[in-house]
Amino acid sequence: MREIKHWLDGQAVSGTSGRQLPVWDPATGEQQAYVVAATAAETDAAVASALAAYPAWRAASLSRRAEVMFRFRELVDANRKEIAALVSAEHGKTVADAGGELARGLENIEFATGAPHLLKGGYSEQASTGVDVYSIRQPLGVVAGITPFNFPAMVPMWMFCNALVCGNTFVLKPSEKDPSASLLLADLLRQAGLPDGCFNVVQGDREAVERLIAHPDVQALSFVGSTPIARAVYEAGTRAGKRVQALGGAKNHMVVLPDADVDAAADAAVSAGYGSAGERCMAVSVVVAVGAVADPLVAAISERIGRIAVGPATDPAAEMGPLITREHRDRVAGYLADPGTAEVVVDGRDAPVSQGPGFFLGASLVDKVSPGSPLYTDEIFGPVLSVVRAESYDEAVKLVNDNEYGNGTAIFTRDGGAARQFQYDVICGMVGVNVPVPVPVAYYSFGGWKSSLFGDLHMYGPEGIQFYTRSKVVTSRWPDPATSEVDLGFPKVR
């Protein structure tokens, strides 16, 4: 059985704990590899390696760091197919979907290549007589990233590209469910010229995470995962004196007004609800159908579901793959078994592919869902789309704003005034207007509000640069010694 190793000091190294965690093939249900979960001592070794590499990397010129990112970008682009194949094999998403993940990851690398411009400070000449004041941004030191299974290549790139180009060194703890992409990315960074020790990978689970949170040499933590764990990571990390950004769960609403184009809205709902089998924090999981649009919209979505090709990534015709594990597949299917007063319009459990092998569940549609139902309140994270019916725009907005989560939302309408009012009214971090999955481009930043984010800075983009640096203000004077005197008064600026 293949072992997926750690990455330390520029090379892959075997784990020593003996505690093996399985890596499944979601399309067949068979184990394809394992990781040996890192011990606290192995995690400490990765942090020590990053700490030793930090002084020289911090001292490297901005041009040198950007050059590494330029080379890394070219290497990732040249190895797209190999990375996508690894992601597909371990996650289960289609190769095309994995390729889309890589494309968005490349945007983040490209943004990082421009960091020298973003790291410029400010300068004020003659702030006081003979005194100049300027600000600079400096790296934090060793920083760590804890990433989820659903985007094993893209989400790490959200973090480490900005962190490294700012002069930090990085320790990554990827998901143990699909960890191979992290090692290939580490090797590509090495090939790009990143010095050994600047980027290390520890495979594992809670033990490695808890050690990274507690380690005194880790200055900052980035996390993406479920809300309960995000809250726990944020609280433990900040208690340990670290800077933390922890992105949590979501329940993304797509509001469809009566004037919307029904076919376009149905296309968007199907694409955003069932892409990657719903295992996206920005997936649409609730369609809020306002007024008379509900019946034709439900019919249009139902008709399209029948045309979705579900199958393994090895099938070129497949549009939707399996879920990540059997346990997760069974948990998602459980919502269909007990829908309460809602109406299951399309039951994915009835799809032939759902009978196995593998962790498949067909696309499912549930209508007339009550806001008090677990179908509505829980982050299902699977191919289950709920339809909630609302009588008015105000009722739809209230649903969005009353929800625990505030990650992403969208409105479908032909009315520009309604769209503008919606983006003003909704309490949510990312808003789409006739765009169902409003993931920002790399030169903006990603993150939600409410229980979807713990911390004050969003991920990647300009806020990512802010997160991985801190500002220092220098006040400078070069006086004539002959004019020096003792003055116990408050410093003068005039």
Distances (CA, A) of 232 to 225, 245, 257: 11, 12, 38
User: pLDDT tens for residues 350-384?
Assistant: 999 999 899 999 999 999 999 999 999 999 999 99
pLDDT at 224: 98
Q: For the segment 423-467, what is each residue's pLDDT rounded down to a tens digit?
A: 999 999 999 999 999 999 999 999 999 999 999 999 999 999 999
Residue 492 pLDDT greater than 80, yes or no: no
Structure token pair of residue 80: 């797209």
On the question of pLDDT at 480 being above 90, the answer is no
Cβ proximity of 455 and 230 under 8 Å: no
- The predicted-structure confidence for 236-270, as pLDDT tens digits, reads as follows 999 999 999 999 999 999 999 999 999 999 999 99
pLDDT tens column, 167-194: 999 999 999 999 999 999 999 999 999 9
* 418/448 Cα distance (integer angstroms): 22
- pLDDT of 356 reads 85
Alpha-carbon distance 151 to 282, whole Å? 12
Q: What is the mean pLDDT of the chain?
A: 97
pLDDT at residue 493, rounded to an integer: 73
Would residue 281 show up in a list of annotated catalytic residues for this protein?
A: yes
pLDDT band at 133 (very low <50, low <70, confident <90, very high): very high
The number of angstroms, rounded, from the C-alpha of 282 to the middle of its chain's C-alpha atoms is: 9
- Of 161, 166, 198, 281, the active-site residue reads 281
Give the C-alpha separation, 223 to 250, whole Å: 15
